[in-house]
Amino acid sequence: MKETFRGFLSPSFTQVPDEFFDSLMPSLSESELKVLLYVIRHTLGQKKQKASISIKQFQKGFPGTDNGCGMEVKAVRRAVNSLEKRRIISIERTADESGMKTANSYSINVAY
């Protein structure tokens, strides 16, 4: 059973670009919507241009901070790939010295 929401604790905010509501939202799937909002929260919401986020963090969140998107790995990957293909987000793929994949860096595409 889903937990009942108690209400917002404080008036803290994450700015979301108007284009999200005006243009993108109607065309996004539920998975794309969740992933994009998660990227926005961890970039614009933390006053950063990009954020390092692992697939596990998209799924379950940053420990002690949030609960992630609550999605299966396949759904996260599908949404991430679709958002990148549509040029809504950018992904900087990273690996350590041995070539092992590490958490990628995500940013929203901003037209200057």
Pairwise CA distance, residues 10 & 81, whole Å: 34
Non-local CB neighbours of 55 within 8 Å, separated by 6+ positions = 73, 76, 77
Band of residue 44 on the pLDDT scale cut at 50, 70, 90: very high
CATH architecture assigned to 27-108: Orthogonal Bundle (1.10)
- pLDDT surpasses 70 at 1: no
Q: Where are the beta strands (DSSP E) in the chain?
A: 51-53, 89-92, 104-108
What per-residue confidence (pLDDT) applies to 5? 86
- pLDDT surpasses 90 at 26: yes
- Residue with the larger pLDDT of the pair 95 and 16: 16
As a whole number, the mean pLDDT across the chain is 92
- pLDDT surpasses 90 at 19: yes
What per-residue confidence (pLDDT) applies to 98? 85
Give whole-number Cα distances, 91 to 26, 67, 75, 86, in Å.
23, 22, 17, 12
- Give the pLDDT mean for 69-92: 97
- Give every strand in the sheet of 51-53, ordered side by side: 51-53, 104-108, 89-92
What per-residue confidence (pLDDT) applies to 87? 96
- Give the pLDDT mean for 59-64: 92
- Ranges of each domain in the chain: 27-108
